[in-house]
Chain A
Amino acid sequence: MITIRERASIATNVFGCLAAGAIALSCSSSLVAQEKPELRIAAIISVTGPASALGAPERNAVELFDKNWSGRTDLPFRVRVVSYDDGSDPTKAVSLTRKAIEEDRAHVVVCCTTTPGSLAIIDTVNAAKVTMISMASSAAIVEPASARPFTFKTPTSDKLMLQRTLNYMKRQGLKKIGFFGLEDSYGENGLKELQNVAKDTGIELVSTERFARQDTNFTPQALRLRQAPLDAVYIHAIPPSANLAHEALKRVGYVGPIYHGAGSSILSFVDIGKANVEGAIVGVGALNVYDQISKENPLRPVLSEFASLYDAAYGKGKVDLFAGQSWDAMMLAVNAYKGIAGAVSKNEDLAATRIAIKDAMERTREWPGVNGVFNLGSTDHLGLDKRSTFLSQIKGGRFVLIEE
């Protein structure tokens, strides 16, 4: 028979053992945790300000990434994400980049949403030798790679997209086109690239009209285009301006084909446009047509996974181009870090790790992101090719793939 005192002592012993065990376990796991190297990514995105239409989905993707990756314990390393809002202001982007580099001791800076912001921080990241991955459109951000050793970007360049689009136009027998685009850095870059690609392809640019993102009235410019002797109009903008430009063209009586740049490859383009944008030929990223791409395409599994993740978090069919750009940036960083995580010691030499990440980035080969297949190198910090561009046509309110 066990007396009360004995019961008490047994209880105490058991309790003590359990406690010791728990402490030991937690010690060991925290020890293990402390030993795991940490990848710190700072995401500086224009959530507010004029570029917020692009920044909001980018931020969503970053949060999605954070949720899925920061808590994971099955990896040989940990991931930590810090987010900032630069308000579409390059000045703020610079100070936030510095903050991320110094205070947060980030290994990788994912910035910025806009071209001016991305260009503004290049000096800072070069001086600090920190890898930067931009989500902006201009090729000037990463070219020449020798002057921008630490700068990478994820969106496919306008040049590639335009090459595909204009080649398609050429095959349709179109000889003269008009440009109808935004006045901001996105539109500017588009125009510059179009002028180059048109020359190479042998298509003549006969008319150029511009509008501002917040404009409400596109009729005058559309009228000008309609009256020009052209075979097709190319619109380089984002919704809702892209829609309004398109509708204005139709309203003034233009009946020719209308092409769109990648800026229109987001869902709100068809949501807003409805029947008015039927027949438009849009250069799209893979995400818009992921369920139509051939199954052999290496992008397909990556796309499906991302789309289902994103749609589950934010709503069916919400996934779009911009979200994919920041997602790729985060995943590229993780991919690069994977390669070197083993070499990172407990007392990390931050500077060496950062350079190691940059080198690892440049060794990325045939890596399938949602924007395309990346092949980075020391002279090519974009790494994308034709495989990141697709052509679609709006049929029945959907993006229907017409060329892969």
Chain B
Amino acid sequence: MSGSDAGSFRRSPAAASVILAALIFAIACAISALAPQYDVTLLVTVGLSALAAMGLTLLLISGQVSLGQAAFMAIGAYTSAILARDHGMPTLLALFAGVAASAIGGAVVGAVTLRLKGHFLPLATLAIGIAISAAIVAAGSITGGASGLGQIPPLAIGPLVLTDDRVFAVLVWLMVAVLAGGLSRLLHTRTGRAIAALKSDSEMAEIFGVDAMRLRLMVFVMAATLAGLAGSLYAFYFKFLSPAPFGLTASVNLLIASIFGGMGHPFGAVLGATAISVLETALQNTVARMFGLSGHVEMIVFGLVLIGVLLRWPGGIWSALERFWPKFTVAQPARHIELTPSKRGAEGENLLSVSQIGKNFGGLQALQGVSFAVGADEIVGLIGPNGAGKSTTFNIATGLVAPSKGTVLLMGEPPPARVSDLVDRGVSRTFQHVRVLPERTVLENVAFGAYAQGRSGMVFGMFGFDRVEEAATFAKAWRALQIVELDGLAHEPASRLAMGQARLLEVARALVSRPRLLLLDEPAAGLRTGEKLKLVTLLHRLKRGGMSVLLVEHDMDLVMNCVDRIVVLDRGQGLMTGLPDEVRADERVIAAYLGA
């Protein structure tokens, strides 16, 4: 890596994650060593909450909400405890078993609730959480019921038996630091980008090869695993379990910790868990001791603080501190690489061919008998008045929508059943409305396009085994930005782009996925004249590089200047297909669209 790369690493979020994680661990060790035992107990409790809350934060980043996180803690805790106490399993093994049980539980719940949209998911997790709590109480003979399960043996790692609070605290916070640092680093890697995309726009993510369902499930399992870890550690620390700390209240408290601390960032969870504990202790000491008022006043004050902080900083405490966190930047590589289209499809075959497709939406006949093809190395324009069915055609061509009749062949085969397989066919597309990740930089958004070419998952991303792959990804992203001439804006947040620039960003992102066929939905909408000229040049350049383009456009000058052939649609039917000059002179087209 070049010198500038090392420099940018120093200022990068990855480095900051490591530094902050190390700092947290150091502080925790200091407290464990020096503070009175009561505070160490608090330290352990906060650490365990932070672990579970981190899982929630990851879920929230992916756009899911769980109101049952404490129930997964319970699964881990009770499994470990029962195996260790009643079945003589060595405690370390029991710990792993507990974590595994939570992971499995998460997989089951996640699979069941995968497709639930909107507020149904939190409701389902709420229901499951309560059901699990109630089941623990009802199955009293195994779990001890409401009275609790005691005499859990202490955790033994090899010859070391962890009965000392301070050693245990160090262990817990080691895990907190490592996992928080890892998750924080994950945010700016391949999987992290995909997870963030799940929240804002999972359909767009699928276009670039993200298997949204599978990733969502993985995130859910990860969250459950973290909760299970926290729960198992709880069992071996307090050596006594009861359903009370794992009920709905506990789940809500974890959610509060996540959001109060900062729902966008794993360190926010640590911050939130710590802040709540500090607040509670402070309230106990002041309100209760000094003023001699009852615990209910503490509750009121806590509620007021919660409301106050969130009204002022809806993003949580972390959002107030975020400006001190380094921005994610990647230096431009010294040598640029070329973006060649992937070699897919047989020679001489049409990349896309639709024949006699029709589509009904209920009673509305959107398309009827439309046929055309796009071959290699050509630019085809699809024009027609509004409502002619252009976007529907696009959606059918890419497999997002199934036609009511007719056939579509994409690279010689029907469109893939799963949208996430589209990118492997060498096909990419943009949308009518700009679909980017607004909080991420332009460069990161473009890098997202390379998702399908990468392999590193959550673990690699968390612990930095993906450096080579990420370097290659960003090299491609930089190249694409240069091609569309947006490289000056590489580190701006995507939300700051003007409409025209955002469209170019989408083209760049599509380029990175190395398509053979690129479908552009109104790429020139919102562009100024100069920008439109640049777009035409760009399209020609792409064609020379071995890419075909199918574009929908309203700007006739642009279309006429850059396409090889034009397909005209009107009211769901193909009007004609031909060279630009032919189309321009055709009477039917003039009557329907170009105007007399």
Residues of A within 8 A of B (CB): 47-48, 50, 59, 83-85, 87-91, 94-96, 98-99, 102-103, 115-116, 119-120, 122-123, 138, 140, 183-185, 187-189
Contact of B240 among A84, A103, A119 (CB under 8 A): A119
A47–B239 CA distance with the chains assembled, in angstroms? 24
Total A-B residue contacts, Cβ distance less than 8 Å: 88
| 27 sampled A-B residue pairs with Cβ under 8 A | A47-B294, A48-B294, A50-B244, A59-B294, A84-B288, A85-B298, A89-B244, A89-B245, A90-B242, A91-B45, A91-B234, A95-B42, A98-B38, A102-B36, A102-B37, A103-B36, A116-B146, A116-B244, A119-B148, A123-B240, A138-B147, A185-B145, A185-B146, A187-B146, A188-B140, A188-B147, A189-B147
Determine if B147 and A119 form an interchain contact, defined as CB atoms under 8 angstroms apart. Answer: yes
Say yes or no: is B50 at the interface (Cβ < 8 Å to chain A).
no
A116–B288 CA distance with the chains assembled, in angstroms? 24
CB-CB under 8 A for A90 and B244, given A47-B294, A185-B148 = yes
The A interface, classified by DSSP as helix, strand, loop or mixed, is helix
Say yes or no: is B227 at the interface (Cβ < 8 Å to chain A).
no
A247–B385 CA distance with the chains assembled, in angstroms? 73
A94–B245 CA distance with the chains assembled, in angstroms? 12
CB-CB under 8 A for A184 and B146, given A48-B296, A98-B37, A120-B242 = yes
B contact residues around A102 at 8 Å (CB): 36-38
Contact of A94 among B146, B238, B296, B299 (CB under 8 A): B238
Q: Return B12 CB to nearest CB of chain A, in Å.
A: 38
B contact residues around A96 at 8 Å (CB): 38
In the complex, the 10 A-B pairs of residues with the closest C-beta atoms, listed nearest first: A99-B38, A116-B242, A85-B295, A185-B147, A48-B295, A116-B148, A95-B41, A120-B240, A185-B146, A98-B38
A173–B546 CA distance with the chains assembled, in angstroms? 99
A contact residues around B295 at 8 Å (CB): 47-48, 85, 87
Q: A123-B239, A184-B146, A188-B146 known; 4 other A-B pairs, CB under 8 Å?
A: A59-B294, A90-B244, A120-B238, A138-B147
Say yes or no: is B391 at the interface (Cβ < 8 Å to chain A).
no
| Residues 193 to 242 of chain B near chain A (Cβ within 8 Å) | 234, 238-240, 242
Say yes or no: is B284 at the interface (Cβ < 8 Å to chain A).
yes
Nearest-CB residue, chain B, relative to A46: B295
Determine if A115 and B148 form an interchain contact, defined as CB atoms under 8 angstroms apart. Answer: yes
Say yes or no: is B150 at the interface (Cβ < 8 Å to chain A).
yes
B contact residues around A183 at 8 Å (CB): 137-138, 146
Determine if B147 and A140 form an interchain contact, defined as CB atoms under 8 angstroms apart. Answer: yes
A95–B288 CA distance with the chains assembled, in angstroms? 16
A contact residues around B138 at 8 Å (CB): 183
Determine if A115 and B147 form an interchain contact, defined as CB atoms under 8 angstroms apart. Answer: yes
The B interface, classified by DSSP as helix, strand, loop or mixed, is helix
A138–B146 CA distance with the chains assembled, in angstroms? 12
B contact residues around A50 at 8 Å (CB): 244
Determine if A85 and B294 form an interchain contact, defined as CB atoms under 8 angstroms apart. Answer: yes
Determine if B41 and A119 form an interchain contact, defined as CB atoms under 8 angstroms apart. Answer: no
CB-CB under 8 A for A94 and B242, given A48-B295, A84-B288 = no
CB-CB under 8 A for A119 and B150, given A84-B288, A94-B41, A188-B140 = yes
A119–B151 CA distance with the chains assembled, in angstroms? 10
B contact residues around A120 at 8 Å (CB): 148, 150, 238, 240, 242
Q: Return B41 CB to nearest CB of chain A, in Å.
A: 4
A98–B298 CA distance with the chains assembled, in angstroms? 21
Hey, what's the 0/1 contact readout for B132-149 against A, CB within 8 Å counting as 1? 000001101000011110
B contact residues around A140 at 8 Å (CB): 147
A88–B243 CA distance with the chains assembled, in angstroms? 11
B contact residues around A83 at 8 Å (CB): 288
Q: Return B246 CB to nearest CB of chain A, in Å.
A: 10
| Residues 22 to 81 of chain B near chain A (Cβ within 8 Å) | 36-38, 41-42, 45
Q: Return A221 CB to nearest CB of chain B, in Å.
A: 14
Q: Return B39 CB to nearest CB of chain A, in Å.
A: 8
Determine if B140 and A90 form an interchain contact, defined as CB atoms under 8 angstroms apart. Answer: no
A160–B299 CA distance with the chains assembled, in angstroms? 38
Determine if B145 and A188 form an interchain contact, defined as CB atoms under 8 angstroms apart. Answer: yes
B contact residues around A88 at 8 Å (CB): 244
A140–B147 CA distance with the chains assembled, in angstroms? 10
Nearest-CB residue, chain B, relative to A127: B163
Most buried by A among B147, B150, B240, B294: B147
CB-CB under 8 A for A90 and B284, given A48-B296, A116-B244 = no
A48–B297 CA distance with the chains assembled, in angstroms? 10
A90–B284 CA distance with the chains assembled, in angstroms? 17
Determine if A95 and B294 form an interchain contact, defined as CB atoms under 8 angstroms apart. Answer: no
B contact residues around A103 at 8 Å (CB): 36, 38
Contact of A95 among B38, B239, B240, B298 (CB under 8 A): B38
